[in-house]
């Protein structure tokens, strides 16, 4: 940043545009970059500056990256020649309305340590390529934050999206507040607020978000009303960057698994018996096991919880602190997930709970009195229905394609249930009431067979290669979803585990199995997995 | 009605002499047209001049008062052809469209217009869609000007210069009986600024007066022998007249000192970029007072030979700053210098790169290189090396920062069409898919990854026309928007397929507007439009042409139905083109239309149903199959607090508009039961409340009963 004295006459060798303040806004289409830009140019004019704004807002580009650019200089009565687009190394203030847009700005050279005040919202608007990955395709924000720290003269990075939505406004207002709070522009806070008022729409909400942004940018040190522009650190001469304000959005706190459940007395006793068994485990295992036990008991009953602990005992038995209990910890996690398979009963149970209604109302922002019509989208196929039959009967259907086809014709169609209506609710209620019989149903048989095979394999492989055993447990992650998605997950699981034949005995077998699993999670069709399997076959 | 309303801004169009006018470039152009007594205006929307059409549409009242006719042309060809009104009649006319694509479409009419010449001033305002932010192939409009001998203006990108060039354009056109193109670049269209206004002027002759007093002159009609005369007339009369007008009125400008070792010859549109580079080199002040002479071409065609040669006099080297390629201007100057036996060194595409936009960095580096080689003494001591800030190392984030191309909006009705297409492909295998111009072209990117080519507006099916073999086991699928359909798809694509007995499948994506260009009305729009005739169904037009297999789908969100229809089209034995018209309103425009109505209804205490979708996070398993069939901005992923879960689950944010795609896709693709649709009843009626209470009581009782019999975990 440079101090904005009156424009100078050209002096050879000096960049005469030091007298021009250059500001770029990078946003995702639809974030209100245009509103912010209008505010900034209006603010400049109110502050006695000449300003020019340009944009490349393609009309249809509502979800892509967009860029706005503003130049301003004190008004001397003569028309300055402003530029129409930002140049690398020549931007004083860079406002990014999303973290990766800040990254994009840095890649384009719009953020440089000699001059650029970077004001960025650290929230993420995920790109499509991040969201479509079957596993977790979200990029690591760390390098962008690191780059902000080293590339910007000053960095004001905080979650301005949340700051705005918390007070019922939108990010353009909180960014404007952060711009004011950053002191990068030579205008007082009042002038910023006056600009918002003059714009005339949603003024009160905007002012609240402005305040939140302002306070965030000043690190809450001041709520100040008048601050001289000259308190802003003076530009290029400064050797060291001022302390950056960088606050990443907080992750949701992990739920405390130790809150004891509520319920009938005898069940609480039973629960106590089970948790006593867990207390015997080493702490790294016990923490996860408590959580896993709660999940399993919630899924079925206390006896099922005991079954979970029986399985877990096998894992703990051959384990020790030497491997940091990795095998047992992963077993505590994935056994619970495997036991709590996604069947019709579970879905019906979850969707008919009072806690679900509460969560739905919170998500939709309505109170408990509001009337909400809730439509559930179901599409059962013969497989799901057969899975909910007693095992023998289910197999009778399954063993003959014609029977399955007959059944499929009757059940395979989209069903929309209104669970706010009695008839819709009762249908699900009835399905969830099958829970006590679950152990006798075909799906349970199938799931337990698969579980035993997988867990047995992990235990066996552990004997020879501890880390390989751990990785086999982790492959359970591949099995998820319903219908075709579930089938695809199972087939990926089988292909990854199938790779074991080629890996067994190698020192890096565990690493390779991990790579196979990561590959399987990286795309839908399993192309990456095929590639990785070919690599293994070439060994 | 267009996406952006200029109803407020156009009031400024009435201001008179001496008033300072504030606004964007396009608004200034409109005002300039009125100040110059334009008699009719027309054009076709498209970035970067879409808003110019919107401004004109919103300004119809003012236009009407002055007796100016406004035409929302069917295509750029129509727009260009409409300038025929200035052939015999002394009426000033202006049309606008995006270039080069629009100029491509218009070129037949433009060539005919240029051949016969004009009486009234004819101005073609082209929005040059080049460089960052462009959505089309990177070409120059310059070639069109040269091939048809239409004069090309390229004013400096500030409001006073643009406004002046509109007046200059009309006068030049009249002085030389030649149509004139006025080129404005992307950022220039959207640049803000001010200029001093003049009074609006009613046209000297209105279109009504022309209609009532028809005239003709066979000499102006493009048919032999007149067409041969036209060519001579262009060279012998019109060109010299233009050169004289340009010189006499000093349309080109000179800046900086008379005497200097070097000089810059620049396109007017490059002026600000050039000055910025000089400013950064310390050779110009912030007002543009430069130490390096500049010959600024506000008219880039024709070039004025003696002006240029005069500028080169006494200089060692001149640099031509000409963006885009081929470098027509530089070539022409080279030829002039050679013929004049000059020794001045001509530079251009070296040091400038042959191809690509002249960005700030390119401009700075190229000017610096030129000056360092030919006038190092002008550069300050530090400048001889470089006075640009030491190149900061640009962080290596290429592997981190994901690309973010434009895509379908939240709730877009085109999304389910492509979700259905993807599902059909999963079942029947990959097909050759031809795309067209419009929002639907976003199908080529993730998550749909559908579409192989795009050949021009309305040409989707035409671009698949050669892939026409009755023996083939698979059919092609072509997409075409409603905008493209009416632009020329009806004949070039549908008519062609019908005539050539094409058996393939055509999907017409009808979203009630020319949506990608900003939501302008077209023939099939469902809206009432005060000045235009709407509500002409596409399916009727297709049937009227003779297509037998036509399916109209009135709710594109019905993924299952689109899937079934598409499958039928791909497999039916019926011959001839299979045309599916998939219609649902552009969500952006629908929201803009409905939001105020809903707000009013809520205010009035009326019963209003507000729909949004949600995901049951404990049911979702985090496979994201739903996102691979959606890509909706409101459908994202989130991390659960549950340490037993590995992958983030799907989540729908507040911006959801409840279009229904999520539920439909989950159903059609048999995904999972995680989605729920929540319709919140605002201002419920008495019977709503009674029914709700009754049901609630029973459900509460059932839930309490079950909860009392089991362990309840707060954390789950």
CB B683 within 8 A of CB B606: yes
Chain B residues in contact with A51 by the CB 8 A cut-off are 192
Tokens, residue B27:
């608004």
Rounded to a whole number, what is the largest CA-CA distance in chain A? 94
Per-residue pLDDT reduced to its tens digit, A166-197: 999 999 999 999 999 999 999 999 999 999 99
Chain A residues in contact with B675 by the CB 8 A cut-off are 376-377
B641: nearest CB among A252, A364, A374: A252
B272: nearest CB among A83, A90, A165: A83
A377 touches chain B (CB under 8 A): yes
A117-121, strands of its sheet edge to edge: A49-55, A65-74, A21-28, A93-96, A117-121, A154-158, A245-246
Residue B638 in domain: yes
Min Cα–Cα distance to chain B from A112, Å: 6
- Start-to-end Cα distance in chain A: 58
Give the domain-ending residue among B248, B264, B289.
B248
Q: Judge if B582 and B461 occupy the same domain.
A: yes
A168 touches chain B (CB under 8 A): no
Residue B395 in domain: no
How much is the average pLDDT of B512-538?
A: 93
Q: Is A30 exposed, middle or buried (0-12, 13-18, 19+ CB in 10 A)?
A: middle
> Residue A482 and residue B621: Cβ atoms within 8 Å?
yes
How much is the average pLDDT of B323-328?
A: 97
Q: Judge if B128 and B157 occupy the same domain.
A: yes
B477-481, strands of its sheet edge to edge: B453-454, B433-435, B477-481, B505-510, B578-583, B549-553
Please state, in angstroms and rounded to a whole number, the distance separating the CA atoms of residues A421 and B516.
41
Q: Judge if B608 and B581 occupy the same domain.
A: no
Per-residue pLDDT reduced to its tens digit, B163-196: 999 999 999 999 999 999 999 999 999 999 999 9
Using CA coordinates, name the residue in chain B closest to A110: B394
Let me know how long chain A is. 539
CA angle (B207, B210, B211) in 5-degree steps: 85
Using CA coordinates, name the residue in chain B closest to A362: B614
Please state, in angstroms and rounded to a whole number, the distance separating the CA atoms of residues B144 and B150.
8
* Best mean pLDDT range from A230-239, B399-408, B501-510: B501-510
CB atoms within 10 A of CB A249: 15
Please state, in angstroms and rounded to a whole number, the distance separating the CA atoms of residues B699 and B668.
30
Give the domain-ending residue among B187, B222, B248.
B248
The pLDDT-based confidence of A230 (bands split at 50, 70, 90) is very low
Higher pLDDT, A240 or B697: B697
Please state, in angstroms and rounded to a whole number, the distance separating the CA atoms of residues B47 and B29.
15
How much is the average pLDDT of B302-315?
A: 97
> Residue B670 and residue A140: Cβ atoms within 8 Å?
no
**Mutation choice for B interface testing from A84, A139, A353 by most B CBs within 10 A:** A84
List the one residue out of A309, A305, A389, A307 whose CA is nearest residue A343. Answer: A389
How much is the average pLDDT of B385-398?
A: 63
Per-residue pLDDT reduced to its tens digit, B530-548: 899 999 999 999 999 999 9
Read off the CATH number of the domain in which B258 is found.
Answer: 3.40.50.920
> Residue B710 and residue A255: Cβ atoms within 8 Å?
no
Total-model pTM:
0.94
CB B179 within 8 A of CB B149: no
Chain B residues in contact with A56 by the CB 8 A cut-off are 132-133, 186-187, 190
> Residue B711 and residue A140: Cβ atoms within 8 Å?
no
> Residue B692 and residue A20: Cβ atoms within 8 Å?
no
How much is the average pLDDT of B221-244?
A: 97
Q: Is A234 exposed, middle or buried (0-12, 13-18, 19+ CB in 10 A)?
A: exposed
> Residue B446 and residue A15: Cβ atoms within 8 Å?
no
* Residue B665 neighbours by CB under 8 Å, 6+ apart: B416, B419, B559, B626, B629, B630, B671
Using CA coordinates, name the residue in chain B closest to A129: B446
Give the pLDDT score at A31: 84
Residue B594 in domain: no
CB atoms within 10 A of CB A88: 20
**pLDDT of B35 above 50:** yes
Domain extent for B460: 415-589
Between chain A and chain B, the number of residue pairs with CB atoms below 8 A apart is 423
Give the pLDDT score at A1: 31
Give the pLDDT score at A219: 77
DSSP classification of residue B448: T
DSSP letters for B535-570: ---HHHHHHHHT-SEEEEES-TT-HHHHHHHHHHHH
Q: Judge if B355 and B490 occupy the same domain.
A: no
Min Cα–Cα distance to chain B from A221, Å: 31
Give the pLDDT score at A257: 55
Give the domain-ending residue among B560, B589, B618.
B589
**pLDDT of B157 above 50:** yes
B612: nearest CB among A81, A130, A364: A364
CB B493 within 8 A of CB B506: yes
For residue A315, which phi and psi values (nearest 5 degrees)?
-70, -45
Residue B408 in domain: no
Residue B235 in domain: yes
The pLDDT-based confidence of A222 (bands split at 50, 70, 90) is very low
Q: Judge if B72 and B126 occupy the same domain.
A: yes
Per-residue pLDDT reduced to its tens digit, B548-585: 999 999 999 999 999 999 999 999 999 999 999 999 99
Q: Is A66 exposed, middle or buried (0-12, 13-18, 19+ CB in 10 A)?
A: buried
Tokens, residue B457:
């507006």
Per-residue pLDDT reduced to its tens digit, A398-414: 999 999 999 999 999 99
Please state, in angstroms and rounded to a whole number, the distance separating the CA atoms of residues B446 and B629.
9
Residue B715 in domain: no
User: Strand pairing partners for B508?
Assistant: B480, B581
CB B665 within 8 A of CB B630: yes
**pLDDT of A11 above 90:** no
CB A101 within 8 A of CB A28: yes
Please state, in angstroms and rounded to a whole number, the distance separating the CA atoms of residues A388 and B259.
94
Total domains, chain B = 4
Give the pLDDT score at A234: 30
* Least confident stretch, A106-120, A199-213, B50-64, B387-401: B387-401
Please state, in angstroms and rounded to a whole number, the distance separating the CA atoms of residues A295 and A308.
10
Domains of chain A: 21-125+140-221+242-246 (3.40.920.10), 265-443 (no CATH), 459-537 (no CATH)
Q: Judge if B618 and B567 occupy the same domain.
A: no
Read off the CATH number of the domain in which B201 is found.
Answer: 3.40.50.970
Residue B571 in domain: yes
Q: Is B10 exposed, middle or buried (0-12, 13-18, 19+ CB in 10 A)?
A: buried
List the one residue out of B531, B527, B582, B587 whose CA is nearest residue B555. Answer: B582
Tokens, residue A211:
């305040």
B272: nearest CB among A82, A113, A359: A82
CB B2 within 8 A of CB B168: no
User: Strand pairing partners for B553?
Assistant: B582
> Residue B703 and residue A14: Cβ atoms within 8 Å?
no
User: Strand pairing partners for A121?
Assistant: A158
Q: Judge if B243 and B269 occupy the same domain.
A: no
Chain B residues in contact with A527 by the CB 8 A cut-off are none
For residue A239, which phi and psi values (nearest 5 degrees)?
-80, -35
Q: Judge if B240 and B274 occupy the same domain.
A: no
Per-residue pLDDT reduced to its tens digit, B652-669: 998 999 999 999 999 999
- Directed axis angle between helix A442-464 and helix A326-339, to 10°? 170
A54: nearest CB among B191, B671, B684: B191
Q: Judge if B26 and B168 occupy the same domain.
A: yes
Q: Judge if B518 and B542 occupy the same domain.
A: yes
CA angle (B101, B536, B517) in 5-degree steps: 30
- Pseudo-torsion of CA B170, B172, B178, B184, nearest 10°? -60
**pLDDT of A58 above 80:** no
Min Cα–Cα distance to chain A from B458, Å: 17
Tokens, residue B332:
């022409």
How much is the average pLDDT of A280-302?
A: 95
Chain A residues in contact with B397 by the CB 8 A cut-off are 103-104, 106-107, 143-144, 147
Residue B652 in domain: yes
Interface of A with B in 411-470 (CB under 8 A): 414, 416, 420-422, 425, 429
Min Cα–Cα distance to chain B from A223, Å: 30
DSSP letters for A246-261: E-PPPPPPPPPTTSPP
Q: Judge if B634 and B531 occupy the same domain.
A: no
CB A502 within 8 A of CB A539: yes
Q: Judge if B215 and B267 occupy the same domain.
A: no
CB A501 within 8 A of CB A357: no
């Amino acid at each position: 940043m440079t101090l904005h004295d009156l424009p100078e006459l050209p002096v050879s060798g000096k960049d005469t545009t030091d007298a021009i303040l250059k500001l770029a806004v990078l946003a995702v289409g639809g974030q209100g970059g245009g509103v912010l830009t209008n505010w900034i140019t209006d603010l400049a004019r109110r502050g006695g500056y000449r300003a020019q704004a340009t944009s490349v807002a393609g009309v249809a580009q509502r979800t892509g990256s967009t860029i706005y650019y503003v130049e301003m200089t004190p008004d001397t009565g003569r028309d300055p020649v402003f530029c129409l687009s930002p140049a690398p190394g020549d931007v004083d203030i860079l406002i990014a309305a999303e973290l990766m847009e800040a990254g994009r700005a840095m890649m384009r050279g719009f953020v440089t340590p000699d001059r650029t005040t970077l004001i960025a919202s650290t929230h993420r608007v995920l790109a499509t390529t991040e969201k479509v990955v079957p596993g977790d395709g979200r990029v690591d924000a760390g390098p962008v934050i690191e780059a902000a720290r080293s590339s910007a003269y000053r960095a004001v990075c905080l979650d301005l999206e949340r700051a705005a939505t918390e007070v019922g406004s939108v990010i353009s207002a909180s960014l404007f507040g952060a711009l004011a709070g950053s002191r990068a522009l030579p205008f007082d806070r009042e002038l910023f607020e006056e600009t918002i008022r003059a714009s005339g729409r949603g003024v009160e909400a905007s002012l609240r978000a402005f305040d939140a942004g302002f306070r965030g940018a000043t690190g809450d040190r001041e709520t100040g009303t008048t601050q001289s522009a000259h308190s802003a650190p003076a530009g290029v001469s400064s050797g060291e960057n001022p302390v950056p304000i960088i606050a990443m959005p907080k992750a949701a706190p992990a739920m405390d698994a130790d809150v004891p459940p509520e319920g009938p007395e005898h069940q609480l006793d039973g629960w106590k018996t089970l948790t006593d068994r867990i207390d015997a485990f080493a702490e790294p295992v016990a923490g996860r096991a408590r959580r896993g036990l709660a999940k399993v008991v919630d899924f079925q009953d206390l006896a099922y919880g005991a079954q979970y602990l029986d399985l877990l005992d096998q894992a703990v038995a051959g384990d020790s602190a030497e491997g940091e209990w990795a095998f047992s910890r992963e077993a505590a996690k994935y056994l619970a997930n495997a036991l709590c398979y996604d069947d019709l009963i579970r879905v019906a149970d979850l969707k008919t709970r009072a806690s679900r209604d509460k969560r739905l109302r919170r998500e939709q922002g309505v109170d408990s009195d509001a009337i909400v019509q809730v439509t559930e989208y179901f599409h059962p196929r013969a497989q799901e229905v057969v899975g909910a039959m007693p095992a023998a009967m289910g197999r009778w259907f399954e063993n003959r394609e014609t029977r399955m086809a007959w059944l499929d014709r009757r059940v395979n169609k989209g069903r929309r249930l209104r669970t706010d209506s009695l008839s819709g609710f009762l249908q699900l209620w009835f399905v969830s009431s099958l829970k006590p019989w679950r152990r006798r149903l075909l799906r349970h048989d199938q799931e337990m067979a698969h579980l035993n095979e997988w867990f047995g394999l992990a235990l066996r492989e552990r004997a020879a290669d501890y880390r390989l055993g751990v990785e086999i447990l982790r492959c359970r992650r591949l099995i998820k979803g319903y219908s075709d998605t579930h089938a695809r997950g199972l087939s990926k699981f089988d292909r990854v585990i199938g790779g074991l034949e080629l890996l067994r005995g190698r020192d890096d077998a565990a690493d390779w199995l991990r790579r196979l699993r990561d590959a399987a999670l990286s795309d839908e069709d399993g192309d990456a997995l095929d590639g990785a399997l070919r690599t293994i076959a070439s060994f | 009605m267009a996406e952006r309303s200029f109803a407020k801004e156009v009031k400024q169009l009435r201001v008179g002499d001496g008033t300072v006018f504030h606004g964007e470039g396009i608004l200034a152009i409109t005002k300039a047209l009125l100040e110059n007594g334009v008699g009719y205006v027309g054009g076709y929307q498209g970035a970067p001049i879409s808003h110019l059409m919107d401004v004109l549409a919103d300004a119809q009242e003012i236009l009407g008062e002055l007796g100016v006719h406004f035409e929302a042309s069917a295509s750029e060809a129509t727009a260009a052809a409409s300038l025929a009104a200035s052939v015999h009649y002394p009426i000033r006319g202006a049309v606008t469209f995006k270039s080069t694509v629009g100029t491509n479409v218009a070129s037949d009419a433009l060539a005919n217009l240029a051949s016969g010449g004009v009486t009234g001033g004819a101005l073609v305002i082209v929005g040059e869609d080049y460089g960052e932010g462009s959505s089309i192939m990177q070409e120059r409009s310059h070639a069109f000007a040269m091939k048809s001998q239409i004069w090309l203006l390229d004013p400096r990108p500030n409001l006073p210069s643009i406004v002046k060039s509109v007046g200059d354009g009309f006068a030049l056109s009249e002085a030389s009986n030649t149509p004139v193109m006025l080129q404005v670049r992307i950022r220039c269209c959207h640049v803000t600024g001010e200029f001093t206004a003049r009074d609006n002027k009613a046209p000297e002759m209105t279109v009504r007066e022309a209609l009532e007093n028809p005239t003709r002159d066979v000499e102006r009609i493009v048919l032999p022998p007149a067409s041969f005369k036209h060519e001579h007339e262009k060279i012998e009369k019109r060109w010299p007249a233009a050169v004289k007008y340009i010189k006499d009125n000093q349309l080109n400008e000179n800046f900086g000192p008379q005497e200097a070792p070097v000089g810059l010859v620049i396109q007017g549109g490059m002026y600000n970029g050039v000055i910025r580079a000089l400013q950064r080199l310390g050779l110009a002040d912030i007002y543009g007072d430069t130490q390096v002479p500049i010959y600024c071409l506000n008219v880039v065609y024709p070039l004025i030979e003696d002006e240029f040669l005069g500028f080169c006099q006494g200089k060692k080297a001149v640099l031509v700053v000409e963006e885009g390629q081929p470098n027509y201007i530089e070539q022409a100057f080279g030829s002039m210098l050679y013929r004049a036996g000059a020794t001045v060194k001509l530079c251009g595409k070296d040091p400038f790169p042959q191809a690509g936009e002249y960005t700030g960095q390119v401009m700075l580096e190229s000017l610096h290189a030129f000056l360092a080689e030919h006038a190092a003494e002008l550069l300050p001591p530090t400048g001889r090396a470089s006075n640009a800030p030491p190149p900061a190392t640009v962080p290596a984030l290429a592997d981190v920062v994901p690309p973010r191309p434009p895509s379908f909006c939240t709730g877009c009705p085109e999304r389910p069409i492509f979700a259905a297409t993807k599902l059909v492909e999963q079942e029947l295998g990959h097909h050759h898919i031809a795309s067209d111009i419009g929002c639907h072209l976003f199908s080529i990117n993730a998550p749909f990854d559908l579409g192989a080519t795009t050949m021009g507006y309305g040409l989707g099916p035409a671009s698949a026309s050669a892939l026409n073999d009755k023996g083939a086991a698979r059919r092609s699928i072509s997409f075409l928007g409603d905008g493209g359909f009416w632009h020329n798809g009806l004949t070039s694509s549908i008519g062609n397929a019908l005539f050539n007995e094409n058996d393939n499948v055509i999907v017409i994506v009808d979203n009630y507007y020319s949506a990608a260009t900003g939501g302008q009305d077209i023939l099939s729009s469902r809206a009432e439009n005060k000045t235009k005739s709407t509500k002409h169904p596409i399916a009727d037009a297709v049937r009227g042409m003779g297509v037998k297999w036509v399916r109209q789908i009135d709710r594109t969100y019905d993924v299952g139905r689109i899937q079934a229809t598409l499958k039928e089209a791909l497999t039916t034995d019926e011959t001839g083109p299979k045309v599916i018209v998939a219609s649902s309103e552009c969500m952006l425009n629908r929201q803009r239309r409905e939001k105020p109505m809903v707000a009013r209804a809520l205010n009035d205490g009326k019963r209003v149903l507000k729909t949004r979708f949600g995901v049951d996070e404990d049911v979702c398993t985090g496979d994201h199959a739903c996102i691979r069939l959606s890509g909706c901005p409101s459908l994202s992923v989130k991390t659960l607090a549950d340490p037993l879960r590995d992958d983030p689950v799907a989540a729908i944010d507040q911006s959801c508009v409840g279009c229904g795609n999520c539920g439909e896709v989950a159903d059609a693709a048999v995904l999972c039961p995680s989605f729920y649709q929540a319709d919140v009843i605002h201002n419920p009626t008495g019977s709503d409340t009674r029914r709700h209470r009754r049901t609630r009581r029973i459900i509460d009782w059932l839930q309490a009963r079950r909860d009392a019999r089991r362990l309840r975990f707060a954390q789950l």
